Structure 1
Amino acid sequence: MKPLALFGGTFDPVHLGHLSVAWEASELLDAEVRLMPANVPPHRSAPTATSAQRVAMLKAALQGQSRLTLDTRELRREGPSYTIDTLRELRSELGERPLVLLLGADAFAGLPSWQSWRELFDHAHIGVLNRPGIDVEWSTDLAVEILPRRVNDPKVLHEIPAGKVIELSVTPLEISATRIRELLAEGRDPRYLLPCGLFDDPSVLAPYRGVRNEK
């Protein structure tokens, strides 16, 4: 059974760096990947764009392909978007289908600060998105927890529903959502940093036009 992989974030706005990483992970894992925008991210400030605006951007970005899809469940929940709540909900829906939580190396290193972080492994595998040449140190608690869970072969993740950790080497695109917001606020056109679909309708990027912020 093909795994379902989850790639979360604020997507404020969604850019080519997000999409290229999600696409590569889908290929490496032979998995469906769902992009999952957060409602209220616990570890960062609130997005500039509203939930509806971010969904419109994601729909525009994902058109014309079927490998990457959109899941808006976290936007429909009140309060902080805790990943453990999402994984519990999905596990109850999926039965024994393998589930993979995709995390950047920095986010993975901070996993012990997450809500009920050890329980995450009861519901999903974790795919750590590594950039070549970048090493991130893990805490002792995290290292001890993942040592018996590490695998190198993505096929292992197809055979059991949860509990393993795999590192995935992906091609980095150093694109910053903060910088994109700055460019748009200045009235500039970040044409080759964003998916083409975001330029088809001028209203999609309206939340950032002329808006200056420090996020």
Structure 2
Amino acid sequence: MLGGTFDPVHLGHLRSALELLEVLQLDRVHMVPAKVPPLRDTPQVTPEERLTLLQLGIGDTPGLVADPRELERDGPSYSADTLASLRREYGDQARLVMALGHDAFLRLADWHSPQRLFELAHLVVIDRPGCEAPLTTALAELIEGREVFSPGALMRRPAGGLLRLALPTRLSISATEIRRRLASNRSVRFLLPEAVEGRILDNLLYRRR
């Protein structure tokens, strides 16, 4: 599972998902747009539109799935609830992985039911250039004894481990900067899949009102 606002989905998101699939030898990666992100401002584009952009971005890429399950639930989009849904779908013995960026990982202790995340899945932290902040005491206690250092060691159990992973291609693309560029009518070419860029421009998404 790779969750996020995908506001909008860009090539960094999609390349990371594809490399997670390959490096961890996963069957599939569920890319799950948040309907109501609990720890972020509400996106200016609707969840349904962000899902459509994600579907366009993925296209026919094998192994990547645009998963609407958080749009189908009421209330905040808690990752623990999404993982519980995936666990019911795949069974107790399936190896489930939730991937998140290092910046999100640093706030993990503030998430809803963070301990439950490890009961349901492994966590894989995608290293990002420039993210070197020290762990808080609460986060250090949360992950104590959970870290492993290879995908093979992670996959020995269905859940409960933590792996920090530097992906082969680390595209430092910012959705925030993309929104700024769109708002000021500047080019976003080569930051987004062509189909995503086309829909955004055709529908005047992310323009200042």
Q: Give the TM-score normalised by the residue count of structure 1.
A: 0.88
1:175-209 deviation line (CA, Å, top 9, x unaligned): 2212212222223331111112214546665322x
Q: Please report the RMSD computed on the Cα atoms of aligned residues, expressed in angstroms.
A: 1.8
Q: CA 1:149–1:198 in 2, change beyond 3 Å: closer, same or farther?
A: same
Letter in 2 for 1:151: V
- Once the 2 structures are TM-superposed, how far is the Cα of residue 155 of structure 1 from its aligned partner? 1.7
**Unaligned regions of 5+ residues in structure 2, if any?**
none
Hey, what does 2:196 align to over in structure 1? 198
Residue 151 of structure 2 corresponds to: 154
- The CA distance in 2 between the partners of 1:199 and 1:145, in whole Å, is 40
Quote the residue 1:139 is aligned against: 136
1:23 aligns with 2:18: yes
1:161-187 Cα distance to aligned partner (Å, 9 max, x none): 100000101233222212212222223
Gaps of at least 5 residues in structure 1 are 1-5
1:164 alignment counterpart: 161
1:10 to 2:8 alignment: no
Look up the equivalent residue of 1:114 and give its one-letter code. Answer: W
- SS state at 2:155 partner: helix
Q: How far apart are the structure 1 equivalents of 2:109 and 2:149?
A: 23
Task: Please identify, of 8-17 and 197-206, the stretch whose mean Cα deviation from structure 2 is larger.
Answer: 197-206
How far has the Cα of 1:24 moved from its partner? 1.8
Of 80-89 and 185-194, deviating more is 185-194
What does residue 185 of structure 2 align with?
187
Code of the residue aligned with 2:76 in structure 1: it is P
Letter in 1 for 2:185: G
SS at match of 1:102: strand
**Alignment partners' CA distance in 1, 2:182 and 2:130:** 31
1:126 matches 2:108: no
TM-score by length of 2: 0.90
Rounded to whole Å, the distance in 1 between the matches of 2:129 and 2:201 is: 37
How many percent identity over aligned positions?
A: 44
